[in-house]
Amino acid sequence: MAYMSPAGADGLLFAKTAIEFTSLARIAEQNKMVAVSVHLYTMAIEIAFKSLALRAGATLDDCEKAGHNITKLFALIERFGVKIPEMLDRKLNDPKSFKTRLLGTRYTVFNPKDVITYHKNYFEMLAEILEIPCQRPLKFAGGNALSELDSLVAALKKP
């Protein structure tokens, strides 16, 4: 049996949590609950990237130091030789926008000049984040992250 560091195990737990938040966000999105879906997607994005960082070799302290700053989180991941795909970097690597999506959708009082960027493909972006290659890649029941996410959404929607 291969040894897995505590941080690697936490990385798997974070990935599971990101998958659950993504599935709930998809259901909220399908029910036209935009603020709820954006908030859940943003939390899932942060958790998925922290999962990637942990599975790449970062520690929980490293992730805590990166906080909610997406640029610091990307730098942490890349410090371990993992490349963030250009499209994800371009769309998500904006600390102010990320913080506004994370906090501006959760708390009703925020600066009205802040713009909350909405991406129509959060679901697919999260699948891509979960599939980024690293030292401890994830394996998915359906063969890929998108299939696993779709299956969980369907299961959660069953009465």
pTM score of the predicted model: 0.88
Residue 103 is assigned to a structural domain of this protein: yes
Report the pLDDT value the prediction gives residue 92, as an integer from 0 to 100.
87
Range of the domain at 29: 6-157
Is residue 30 over pLDDT 50?
Answer: yes
> Hey, what are 84's tokens?
């963030």
pLDDT greater than 50 at residue 1 = no
pLDDT above 50 (res 155)? yes
In a domain, 114, yes or no: yes
Q: Is the pLDDT of residue 136 over 70?
A: yes
Number of structural domains (the chain) is 1
> pLDDT by residue (tens digit) across 80-122?
999 999 999 998 888 777 777 666 655 555 566 665 666 678 8
More confident residue, 108 or 23: 23
Q: What is the pLDDT of residue 98?
A: 73
Instruction: For residue 1, tell me if it sits in a domain.
Output: no
Q: Quick one: average pLDDT of 65-69? A: 92
Give the CATH number for residue 151: 1.20.120
pLDDT of residue 55: 95
